[in-house]
Amino acid sequence: DDHKDCPLDKDALGRGTWGLLHTMAAAYPEKPTENDRKGVVSFMNLLSNMYPCEYCAKDLRQDLAKDPPDTKNHSAFSLWMCKLHNRVNEKLGKPTFDCSKVDERWRDGPKDGSCG
Ligand code: FAD
């Protein structure tokens, strides 16, 4: 349960990590520098070595080798992250997420302003 001070299980770790990853993509610039671009590639590669769920990390390494991060600009990187997450969703039998809504979900919030 996320509300208790317990060590993270695989699902709580996953939710927290996806929150970080999608929020990083939400903040990724429209016109990234070479440094920005190299940074997110290194980050994803390091994550795939360090992620503390061994079989999750192994699949992530294979996935990154097949489909490396698209770091051109904000929308390319956010879409790439959304597709990465959807491949995990599919593997786990979860519904896929509509990637056209990724900025609404992780950057702008809903149009009714309910997220402040
Ligand atoms: P999560 O999948 O954690 O998603 C959190 C929220 O993100 C959702 O509520 C939704 O609002 C939003 N969201 C969902 N899909 C997308 C998308 N495509 N794009 C943008 N936003 C989206 N678990 C395993 O059991 N086996 C694995 O091999 C495994 N590999 C993982 C690899 C990585 C890199 C990560 C970060 C996590 C992995 N997990 C794995 C954990 C798994 O993905 C989920 O985090 C966990 O099952 C909890 O799922 P959830 O239903 O709470 O929502």
Number of domains into which the chain is organized: 1
> Which pLDDT does position 116 carry in this prediction?
86
Per-residue pLDDT of the chain (116 residues; tens, 9 = 90+): 556 799 999 999 999 999 999 999 999 999 999 999 999 999 999 999 999 999 999 999 999 999 999 999 999 999 999 999 999 999 999 999 999 999 999 999 999 999 98
Q: Is 83 within a domain?
A: yes
* Gap from CA of 116 to ligand 1 centroid (Å): 24
Q: Is 65 within a domain?
A: yes
Q: Is 116 within a domain?
A: no
Return the structure tokens found at 60: 């992530």
In short, whether 14's Cβ falls inside 6 Å of ligand 1 is: yes
* Gap from CA of 32 to ligand 1 centroid (Å): 26
**Which ligand 1 atom is the nearest neighbour of the CA of 21?**
36
pTM, rounded to two decimals: 0.97
Q: Is 77 within a domain?
A: yes
* Gap from CA of 14 to ligand 1 centroid (Å): 5
Q: Is 25 within a domain?
A: yes
Residue nearest to atom 40 of ligand 1 (CA): 56
What's the domain range around 65?
A: 20-29+41-105
Q: Is 36 within a domain?
A: no
Quote the distance between the C-alpha of residue 16 and its chain's center. Answer: 10
User: What are the start-end ranges of the H helices in 9-111?
Assistant: 10-26, 34-50, 54-66, 74-91, 102-103
**Which ligand 1 atom is the nearest neighbour of the CA of 84?**
18
> Which pLDDT does position 4 carry in this prediction?
79
> Which pLDDT does position 98 carry in this prediction?
98
List phi, psi (to 5°) of 14: -65, -45
**CATH number for the domain including 53?**
1.20.120.310
Q: Is 71 within a domain?
A: yes
